[in-house]
Amino acid sequence: MTIKALGMSTTTMLLALVGCASGGGPAASMGNVGLVAGPAPTVITSTTVVLAGARCTAGSCRCRDPGHDDEESAPPPVGAKRFEIRMSAAGGSASFDLSEVGQVATLPATDDQERDTCAYIDIPAGSLHKAAFVARESTRGQGVLPHLQIAEYGPKGPFWYDVIAVRCEGAAGGRCDRTAAESWSVEARQRKRGRLDPCGSAVVSRLAWETSGGQAERDGGLFRDFTARFDLEVKKFATQFAPGSTECLPK
C-alpha cells in the first residue's frame, strides 16, 4: 500500500504490530499498514493515577536510577504488582493512559532536553488494561522526541524487569519521523513472551503506532505527534529469576 505525503493534516498513518503470544507460544503475524483519517490526538495534562511507594510524595515521584535494581522500601500490597512509568517528550509534551488505573502527564518542553517524568503505580495481578502513550510537539514544525519506558518490580531480588520501551528518535538524536518510527517498530518485535525481559510477568500485545502527520518530506518529514497503543496484561505468577536469566527463555 502506498502511503501518502505526511504533510496532509487529515491523514493518520497506522502500523499495527501484533504482539507475541504469552507463555512462549508462537509469535503472531505482522499487521497491515493502513491510512485512517482523523484529528491530531489530545495530550492529557494532569496526572490522575494513585502514586505508590516511598519515591512518591505530594503528587510527584523521584525517578529510580536507570539500570539499578533498587529495593522498594514500601512494597506493593498483596495481590498487586508495582510498575515504573518513565517518559519524556523533548520538544513537546506527553501523556500515558492506562484503563482502570489512570493517567500520567509530563510538563510541556520546547527545547531538546529530555526530562524524565516518573510514576510508580500498583496494578492488580491478573488484570488486563488498554494503554495509550501520546506525544505532541509544542512548536509547529519542530517535532517531538517521544520516549516511554515501563518496568516491573520483582520483590524477590529485588529486581526491575523491562516491559516495553517506546522511542521514536530521528537521526543523530533528532525528533520523530517515519524512518525512526519504522525502526522502532522493528525493534519492538524482538520482545520475548510479550515483554523485553522474559523473566517479568507483564505481557504486551496488540502493539501499534500512529501519527496524524507532519511536515512534508522536503521539509524534513518530522511528525507533529506520535501515539503508541497496546494491551498490558499483568500475570498472577510471582517473578523469581534475575533479569535476562536463561531459565525464563522459551524452550
Comparison of pLDDT for 37 and 151, the residue scoring more? 151
> Is 70 exceeded by the pLDDT of residue 37?
no
- CB atoms < 10 A from the CB of 62, how many? 12
Residue 172's pLDDT band, with cuts at 50, 70 and 90, is: low
Model pLDDT, residue 38? 60
217 phi and psi, to 5 degrees? Answer: -55, -35
pLDDT tens by residue, 95-147: 999 999 999 999 888 888 899 999 999 999 999 999 999 999 999 999 999 99
Comparison of pLDDT for 33 and 58, the residue scoring more? 58
Q: Give the CA count within 13 Å in the CB-facing half-sphere of 61.
A: 26
> Is 80 exceeded by the pLDDT of residue 195?
yes
Q: Which residue carries 489512570 as its cell?
A: 102
- Residue by residue, what is the 3-state secondary structure of the chain? CCCCCCCCCCEEEEEEECCECCCCCCECCCCCEEEEECCCCCCCCCCCCCCCCCCEECCEECCCCCCCCCCCCCCCCCCEEEEEEEEEEECEEEEEEECCCEEEECCCCCCCCCCCEEEEEEEECCEEEEEEEEEEECCCCCCCEEEEEEEEEECCCCEEEEEEEEECCEHHHECCEHHHHHHHHHHHCCCECCECCCCCCEEEEEEEEEECCECCHHHCCEECEEEEEEEEEECCCCCCCCCCCHHHCCC
Residue 29's pLDDT band, with cuts at 50, 70 and 90, is: very low
> Is 70 exceeded by the pLDDT of residue 222?
yes
